[in-house]
Amino acid sequence: MNETGMTTVDTPNWTERSAIVTGAASGIGAAVAAKLAARGVAVTAATLRAGEGGEGVVKQIIADGGRAQLAFGDVSDESAVAGIFSAATESFGPPDIVVHAAGGLTSIAATAQLEPAEWDRMVAINLRSAFLVIHAALPGMIERGWGRVVTVASEAGRMPTRVGSSAYAAAKSGVIGLTKHVAREIAAHGVTVNATAPSTTLSPRIQALYPDGGAAVGAQHPMGRLAEPDEQAAAILFLCSPEASYVNGACLDVTGGSVNI
């Protein structure tokens, strides 16, 4: 209790925390890793494989005085997820914060032309991976009585979008549903589980996916531009923070007005 008689929220030092960020080679994941590290969190930046850009992310964090390491693995594979968590725990202790930013839209096709194998692939890298990462994170967080899990969904999981894929939309809708259900399950344990739903964000993947680098998509956005990774990371950072202690089961739209439902 403080002097006014109101209950205060425990605000632990960020430097006492460790984090795993998946999809940390570039884009939103890389921005989240950098922002967490800048606040003193020891970060394990998880990427699919070497040579994707994660090395540069970690090198910059260390150059800026932060603590970080790389871990590699396909987060749609259970054994790979276990390996990432093991590497993080060995170096920095069990993760207090887990941000699952891995996944993405790998192809654009109408449902009638969508191959079942591609459906399976997008569900695996977006939804199955989210389950596996959450499944690995929760036992330790529950035991310690504190934790932050943030999944990165998409505006496509909130409403139909002009360009996209039914597989991606279904997977990201599933991520939101998974997040909300788990949040209710573990609410009494001091662990929060939340999601963000970004609109299209300027990243190397998006620039490669669209012939014009996403310029036309950005021009049709309510704000006239695409989001920057740092703008998405700022919202995620709040959900990871001690100040978000009573935010649980939320899906925060970070879309610049494109989602208004």
The residues annotated as belonging to the active site are: 168
3-state secondary structure the chain: CCCCCCCCCCCCCHHHCEEEEECCCCHHHHHHHHHHHHCCCEEEEEECCCCCCHHHHHHHHHHCCCCEEEEECCCCCHHHHHHHHHHHHHHHCCCCEEEECCCCCCCCECHHHCCHHHHHHHHHHHHHHHHHHHHHHHHHHHHHCCEEEEEECCHHHCCCCCCCEHHHHHHHHHHHHHHHHHHHHCHHHCEEEEEEEECCECCHHHHHHCCCCCHHHHHCCCCCCCECHHHHHHHHHHHHCHHHCCCCCCEEEECCCCCCC
